[in-house]
Structures are given as structure tokens and as C-alpha cells.
Amino acid sequence: MQVKKIAGFDRIFYFRKKTFLGLLILFGAYPFLVSNYYIDIGFFFGIYALLGLSLNIVLGEVGLFDLGHAGFYAIGAYTTAILNTKCGIPIFILLPVSALAAALFAYMVCSPIIHLRGDYLCIVTIGMGEIVRLALINNPLDLTGGPNGVFGIDFPSVGNIFVIDSSIEYYFLIWVAVALSIYGLSRLQQSRIGRAWNCIREDEVAAKANGIDVRYYKLLAFVLGAALAGVAGNIYASKLMCVSPESFTFWESCLMFCIVLIGGMGSIPGVLIGAAAISLFPEIFRPFAMYRMLVFGGAMILMMVFRPGGIWPRKRGISGK
């Protein structure tokens, strides 16, 4: 009997190690070849990649319509911003703290609503995202700084020896985070947890009837997705040195949604491509000036007309043959 080879990196990307190494070198060499401006574009590509990966767990793997993911991102960013500026806690320590805060928030918010179906869940997540944003604007307990946000967030550092303060270092920080996430998530995809998620997406009743605790796995997806978004928020906050509510609008949630769908639901390379499309597109079309968002909207429609399954959908069952 043939035994299926269980996941190596080639199982995730479906291409050979050489291509993978090539990409790695490209990503590694990129910041040394271009100006700071383009390094920063690379950084935001990384942020969107991380956000895309985090939403991909909820939307791509489990099929839950989450249009309020910016809320979790905001919780992560503001946790870092507030604890750093008010209590002076170092950014690196706040990284897991932000992830935990976002995860805890997701757990508390999603527990009572996790049984909602499809679009009802969708509007609740939208509402949740809006509540977070409006709360930040309203400056409760004088913590969030209202519409102006919080200023003066530190660089990530370990003592004085290792300080991340240049564009290049931030670039590597975010991409290391992305790489680690991909590593963990691709392993989850190939585990009973990943399969349980996909089963729920495919047919919730059948999943239940096959012994999958639907509620638990949905919550797990939300909590994990929120934690990753919290990490993205932490890195984003320290890079910009300030956070304000306008970075966490409904529009931001929509962008994440598009990243997952443009790339292909549940596909990790798809998320990277989707994130590239969303973060690089406005740059490429800068010459179009005020018409560029028109082109952007048109591209989104065309993309879905011609590749409704995304650019790089997840392929299954290849190595089983």
C-alpha cells in the first residue's frame, strides 16, 4: 500500500525546493537593491500578507464570513500602543501580549454569536469591527487618544544591543513573522484541525455528524485568526510609531476579505499573491492619479469574472497519486 507523504514545504507551495530557494533569495535580497520607499512597500506587503493569513483561517479554512477583522487588528495595535506609551513595556514583550489580547477579545465576542449562519455572522462581525473603531474614536477612559490616536510608540528592541529602527530591519521583522505563520499554518492545514476546519466549510451538518465539535473549531479559528491579526497590529504600531482609528476602518476589513478571495480561499500562496495585489497595485497605478481607484475596482471585478476561484486556489490530493 502506498503511503501518502505528509507535508513538506513542497506540499504547501506545490513547487520544487529550487523555486522556493529562489523566492527566498529574492525576498532576502530585495531590500538591499531598492530605496527605502520601496522597502516600505515591501513592509506593507508583509503586513497585508500577515493579515491575509490571519483572515484566511476564518474565511478561507472555515468559510466564516468575517468582515470585521480590522477590529482584531486594531485591538492588537492599540494594546501595543497604550501599554508601550503609558507603561513603557517593550514592544517585543507586547508582541505576545497583543496577540493574547486580540485572541481574548475574539473569544469573548465570538462565543455568543458563533452559532449564527452565513450573512448573519457577517453583519455581526461588521458590527463588532465598527464598535471597536467607534470606541477608539470616543476615547474611553482617556486611553485611546480619540480620533488622533496614540503617538510616540517605541522601536522594538532587546536592551540597547538589538534595536529595530530602520526600514530594512522592519522589513525583515514582518517577513520573519509571515514566514513563521506560514510554517505553522501549513502544518495545521495538514492536520486533523485543518481537516476539521475544511469539513465545517464544506458541510456543517455532515461535519457535526462525523464527530467534529463545530462550535469549538469555529471559535478556535476566530481566536487564532485574531491572535495573528494582533501580531500584525503590534508590528504595524511600532513601525508607524502611532496608531489612529482611521487605520482600522471597515474598508480595511474589506481589503483583507479581498486578499483571501483574490488569492484563493484556504490557499497560503494565494494569500501572498492577494496581498501583493492589494498592496502593490495602488503603487503600480500611481501614474493614473485620481483614476487609480477606478482601475482598482475594475480589476477586482475582472479578476472575479475570469478567475472566480482566485489566482492560486489550493490544490488537493496531488501527492496522493
Partner 1 sequence: MQVVFEQIINGLTIGSFYGLIALGYSMVYGVLKLINFAHGDFFALGSYLGYTLLIFGSAFVTSLFGLWGGMIAAMLVAAICLAFVGILVERVAYRPIYPAGRLPAVVSALGASIILQNVIMVIWGPRYQAYPAKLIPNIHLQVWGVHITVLQLVILLLSFFIMAVLYYIIQRTTFGAAIRASAMDRDTAALMGINFNKVIFFIFTLGPALGALTGVMVGMYYRQISFTMGWNYGLKAFTATILGGIGNLPGAMFGGLILGVLEMLGAAYISAAWKDVFVFLILIMVLIFRPTGLFGETTAEKV
Partner 2 sequence: MQRNKNKVVLETHQLTKTFGGLTAVSQLNLRVHQGEISSLIGPNGAGKTTVFNVVTGIYRPDGGQVLFNDENISGKQPHRIVAKGIARTFQNIRLFPEMTCLENVMAGQHCRASAGLWSSIFRTPGQKKEEKRIQEVAEDRLEQVGLWKFKAELAKNIAYGSRRMLEIARALASDPQLLVLDEPSSGLNDRETEDLIDFLKGLLQENLTILIIEHDMKVVMGISDWVTVMDEGKKIAEGDPETIYNNPLVVEAYLGKDDDSEEEKI
Q: Which residues contact 214 (CB under 8 A, 6 or more apart)?
A: 200, 204, 207, 208
Does residue 111 belong to the site contacting partner 2 (CB under 8 A)?
no
- Tell me if 6 contacts partner 2 by CB under 8 A: yes
Grid cell at residue 1: 500500500
Q: Which of 28, 147, 184, 308 binds partner 2 (CB under 8 A)?
A: 184
187 binds partner 2 (CB under 8 A): yes
Tell the smallest beta-carbon distance from residue 239 to partner 2 (Å): 26
Say what the alpha-carbon torsion angle 152, 156, 162, 163 is, to the nearest 10 degrees: -40
Among 110, 106, 78, which residue's Cα sits nearest to residue 94?
78
Site for partner 2 contains 205 (CB under 8 A): yes
Binding status of residue 124 toward partner 1 by CB under 8 A: yes
- Report in angstroms how near the CB of residue 4 gets to partner 2 at its nearest: 6
Please give the backbone phi and psi of residue 243, each rounded to the nearest 5 degrees, phi first: -130, 145
Q: Are strands 157-158 and 162-163 parallel, antiparallel or unpaired?
A: antiparallel
Burial class (CB in 10 A: 0-12, 13-18, 19+), 193: middle
Contact partners, residue 162, CB within 8 Å, separation at least 6: none
CB nearer partner 1, residue 90 or residue 127: 127
* Closest residue by Cα to residue 5 from 271, 314, 196, 14: 14
Q: Is the CB of 65 or the CB of 175 nearer to partner 1?
A: 65
Per rule CB under 8 A, is residue 258 in the interface with partner 1?
yes
The stretches of 152-246 forming alpha helices (DSSP H) are 167-189, 192-202, 204-209, 214-240
Q: Is 267 within 8 Å of 313 (Cβ atoms)?
A: yes
Radius of gyration of the chain (CA): 20
Number of residues located near partner 2, criterion CB under 8 A: 35
Is residue 134 close enough to count as binding partner 1 by CB under 8 A? Answer: yes
Binding to partner 1, residues 174-233 (CB under 8 A): 205
Number of residues in contact with partner 1 under rule CB under 8 A: 43
Tell whether residue 213 is a contact of partner 2 (CB under 8 A).
yes
SS3 163: strand
Q: Per CB under 8 A, does 4 bind partner 2?
A: yes
Shortest reach from residue 185's CB to partner 2, in Å: 8
Nearest 5°: phi and psi at 14? 60, 25
Stretch 273-312: interaction string toward partner 1, x if CB under 8 A: -----------------xx-xx-xxxxxx-xxx--xx---
CB of 193 to partner 2, least distance (A): 5
Query: Per rule CB under 8 A, is residue 286 in the interface with partner 2?
Result: no
Binding footprint of partner 1 on the chain (CB under 8 A): 112-113, 115-117, 119-120, 122-124, 126-128, 130-131, 134-135, 137-138, 205, 250-251, 254, 257-258, 261-262, 265, 290-291, 293-294, 296-301, 303-305, 308-309
The site for partner 2 (CB under 8 A) is made up of 1, 3-4, 6, 184, 187-188, 191-196, 198-199, 202-203, 205-214, 220, 224, 316-321
